[in-house]
Amino acid sequence: MVLRELFSFIMGIFLLLSIVLLFNDEVAPGIKKMTVNEKVYSMIFHVNSLLEKTKTLARDINNAEIYFQREMPDKLSGQTYRVYTNSNQLCVRTSGDVILNRCVNMTINASGNYLSGTDIFFNATFKGNDVMLAFDNVLAYAPVCTTS
């Protein structure tokens, strides 16, 4: 009787350890990758909406050059990241434990390259009927107005 109870206890411990190890090795990394992936797409759409806002400001103030900065998160789920344009796409690439590179087609023309860790700066120049949009970590040559 005691031997059967001891065997049941050992089997319970073995089952519990198996579940914990399976979760740590298989499930947790998948959940982290899914979380980072969702945050990457959120970042892409956030920067795209800021570009749209910059374009609207430039159109509302004809023949003006607009500069503004926004705070950005230092990391996405513990991952450093880069926001950049590639052809007509806005992309985010993470580096660290989970490396992702995701892109979405843009509806506006913009160019830029931003590395996480600082504020992001936007620049819009109205030329004729077109608005030239750019973003970067630093636009040190420009007078900067902070918006909240």
The pLDDT-based confidence of 145 (bands split at 50, 70, 90) is very low
Residues 95 and 59 sit within 8 Å (Cβ to Cβ): no
Q: What's the confidence (pLDDT) of residue 139? A: 59
For the chain, the domain total comes to 1
| Enclosing domain of residue 122 | 2-146
* Assigned token pair, 97: 């434990």
Instruction: Give tens-digit pLDDT for 57-115.
Output: 887 777 678 888 889 999 988 889 999 999 889 999 999 888 889 999 988 889 999 99
Q: What's the confidence (pLDDT) of residue 91? A: 95
**What is the identity of the amino acid at 84?**
Y
| CA-based radius of gyration for the chain | 24
To which H or E segment does residue 93 belong? strand 89-95
- Average pLDDT in the chain: 84
Q: How far apart are CA 109 and CA 93, in angstroms?
A: 20
